[in-house]
Amino acid sequence: MSARLGLTLGAITAANMLAWFLLQGYVLATTGAGVQADAFFASLAVPQLVLLVANSSFAHVLIPFFSGKARAQVQGEAMALVLVVGGSFAAVAGLLWLAAPAWVPLVVPGFDAAARTLAVSLARVQVVGMAFSAVSAVLLAACHAQGRFALAESAPLLGTLAAFAAMVVVLPTHGVAGAAWVNVARALVGMLVLAPLLVGAARAPWGAAAGVWARLRPLLLSATYYKSDQLFDRFFTSMGQAGALSLFYFAQQAALAVNSVLGKAISAPAVPRLAVLVRQGDWPQFHRLYRRRLLLLTGASLLCCLAAGAGLALGWPFGGIGQLKLLRGQDLAGALGLFMLMSGVIVGGGAGLILSEAFFTLGDTRTPSLVTAGCFTVGIGMKAAGFSLFGVEGLALATSAYFLSYPAALFLLLEATLARKRTLADAG
């Protein structure tokens, strides 16, 4: 990846994350950090979980699967997967729609009856967009494998910009119910922007879907488990005071946005090259490439955290932060403090991304899945203890600790794996 391409991808992804962040901020500013905002952000929990699972699992498996193939073959295989994935996730969405009155109260046990009823109605709207998001994940993987990184990152940006324009019109007149439908439209627009990738695709080779499923199955199951951390966050914060869920979510999305920008700009473009090196059996070059990306990503993450901390420290006494303190009477300084407590999400999340992708290009989806699931299990207990002792601040610290634990374990295991492969290659 050239430096120019990295900067371009970083700029596009940063623009998308900024637009998404401002979109959520607009909802928070318009409704206020209270019951309606809490219900709206709580209703996003399961659809976002599906999006996270689909994006991470499909990207890690499908990018190596598509890499190095002719365009016509990628189009045909992508068409088959789009049909299978779209139909499967549409069926799951239907089941979630029917069962919403049962599962929503489990996610937010602290809500009163009125808030639960609102959250159920909003969740039923949000799940409609799940199939669109899942199909987009398949198309994004095909784009990355073909080196069409700019298109892959521009599609979500166009969807978010369209949603922002719609939200300004819809939210003041239709409230959070209209805002939920805007989120569905955002997923649809992102999918439609990528859909021309399939134009001219030959008859779908259904065997491609069966071959991919063998790799996807363990990853989907484990990712659904360990990426459900935001469900636990909603569970705990729903038992706090009104607005706690909204502010915690706002800070968490900011940390994840920074992590996503860095990951897309530094990690994602290296995956096709790593996959090619695996096919060539060039383990020394594979080791050098992944280590360079890991160091670059970790260093950039640390710089972002230091810059955010410096900005917070300098802005506070001079009143810069004070201008952001009130959004409908809510103190956003608390959300900024939570963001700093979740710095581990930025540093650990970036390192974990490149380490997981290195394993996936080796065809090993089991090791990162088991490691992350194990660390997540311990992290649930840490979150419960942190929240019970220190409230949302303790929850934020526990979240940082979890995001730092699993990349440390993955690094040790990956180094051992590559050492064995180099030894076997030298012996052969």
Which letter, b or e, does each residue of 257-291 get, where b requires 16 or more Cβ atoms within 10 Å of its Cβ?
bbbbbbbbbbbbbbbbbbbbbbeeeebeebbebbb
Decide: helix, strand or coil at residue 330: strand
10, pLDDT greater than 80: no
Q: How many whole angstroms separate alpha carbon 377 and alpha carbon 383?
A: 10
- Residues 241-263: what's their mean pLDDT? 79
Q: What is the pLDDT of residues 268-293, one digit of tens each?
A: 777 778 888 888 888 889 989 889 98
Please tell me which residue, 73 or 394, carries the higher pLDDT value: 394
Question: d(Cα 39, Cα 44) in Å, to the nearest integer?
Answer: 9
Q: Average model confidence (pLDDT) for the chain?
A: 82
Joined tokens for residue 223: 């990712």
What are the residues whose beta carbons fall under 8 Å from the beta carbon of 89, sequence distance 6 or more? Answer: 50, 54, 130, 131, 133, 134, 135
Higher pLDDT, 361 or 25: 361
Strand partners, 327: 330
Q: What integer pLDDT is reported at residue 5 of this predicted model?
A: 62
Task: Please name every residue paired with 416 in a beta bridge, in sequence order, or none if there are none.
Answer: none
Which helix (H) or strand (E) is 154 found in, with range?
helix 149-194
pLDDT band at residue 319, thresholds of 50, 70 and 90? Answer: very low
Counting residues of the chain whose pLDDT is more than 70, the rounded percentage is: 87
Mean pLDDT of 17-22: 78
Q: Of 206-220, 282-296, 349-363, 389-403, where does mean pLDDT reach its minimum?
A: 206-220
Q: CB 331: neighbour CB atoms within 10 A?
A: 15
Residue 327 has pLDDT above 70, yes or no: no
Q: Assess whether pLDDT exceeds 90 at residue 299.
A: no
What average pLDDT does the segment 216-235 reach?
A: 77
